[in-house]
Amino acid sequence: MKSIDHGIFLNRKSYSETSLITTFYTKKSGLQNFFFRGGKKKSHNMFPMSISELSFYGRTDSGLKKLTQVDSFSSLSFQFNPIKSAIAFFMAEAIQKSVYEGDVDEKIFDFILSYVKELDSTDDLKLFPISFLIGFSDVLGFKPLIQEKDVVFFNLDSGIFQSSINKMDRVKKGLGVQLILCLLNEQSPIDFSKESRDDALDIMLEYFMIHISKFKELESHDIIRQVLYE
């Protein structure tokens, strides 16, 4: 049975000389892998975080569906900007390592879609990866919480900002933590240094690794560090 869905492109792997295994986060079915016969000749509009209308065949319980057509659904231009492209790779890798195939949540799709459109329209990129991870943690259900005033420490295990710690707590402190606090409070951050932004990104990535078992170090992390924080 033929199905149509909207999907955000995350990744592709070579299957043969002409075909691909592609990964999309779809609106109706969440994270999905597709076999795309002849895809190497048809993938000109597939780049990380591109938005497409997908035509495919496969049962609901099928792990690998057969993709037949990919049509651009939304006009985007960020793929022509090397820094935005690097951020798109980062977002795609973070998403793929955070969600599980078969888990369907349109709120996640809508969140990702909103950030894709923001990436395409904004020129303020310094804090974009950190802001994305904070927002993504919210929609995934483990957003950091602020329960006290004048907090200094971020407890990575509980996800709570606190003013004091126990010896067994895995905590972070410093300007990276203060930057995350500013973003959580929706305050305009002061002019944090590159080192502080780099530290804040490291903290959020470690936070994801603690709370999502499949989340591992991102290959794109070093690229983001080079293009934004060096």
User: Taking the domains of the chain in order of start, what are their residue ranges?
Assistant: 2-72, 78-228
Q: pLDDT value at position 204?
A: 99
Q: Of residues 20 and 168, which shows the higher confidence score?
A: 20
Which pair of structure tokens corresponds to residue 148?
């006290």
Which pair of structure tokens corresponds to residue 79?
């793929």
Question: Amino acid identity, residue 213?
Answer: S
User: Under CATH, domain 2-72 is a member of which superfamily?
Assistant: Nucleic acid-binding proteins (2.40.50.140)
Q: Is the pLDDT of residue 112 over 80?
A: yes
What's the rounded Cα separation, in Å, for the pair 8 and 5?
A: 10
Q: Is the pLDDT of residue 186 over 90?
A: no
Q: Is the pLDDT of residue 190 over 90?
A: no
With bands split at pLDDT 50, 70 and 90, how would you rate the model's confidence at 96? very high
28-38 pLDDT tens trace: 999 999 999 99
What percentage of the chain carries pLDDT values higher than 70? 98
What's the rounded Cα separation, in Å, for the pair 164 and 146?
A: 13
SS3 157: coil
Q: pLDDT value at position 215?
A: 97
Q: pLDDT value at position 166?
A: 84
SS3 25: strand
What percentage of the chain carries pLDDT values higher than 90? 81
Residue 73: Cβ within 10 Å count: 16
Q: pLDDT value at position 90?
A: 98
Fold: same for 2-72 and 78-228: no
Q: For residue 50, what are the CA distances in angstroms to 18, 56, 102, 126, 222?
A: 21, 18, 21, 21, 22
Q: pLDDT value at position 62?
A: 67
Which DSSP state fits 101? B
Q: pLDDT value at position 60?
A: 59
The CATH code belonging to domain 78-228 is: 1.20.1440.120
Closest by Cα among 220, 212, 218 to 99: 212
With bands split at pLDDT 50, 70 and 90, how would you rate the model's confidence at 173? very high
Q: Is the pLDDT of residue 99 over 80?
A: yes
Report, in angstroms and rounded to the nearest whole number, the Rg of the chain calculated over CA atoms: 19
79 near 203, Cβ under 8 Å?
A: no
Mean pLDDT of the chain: 93
| Strand residue runs (E) in 58-200 | 64-72, 145-146, 153-155, 160-162, 171-172
Q: Is the pLDDT of residue 59 over 80?
A: no
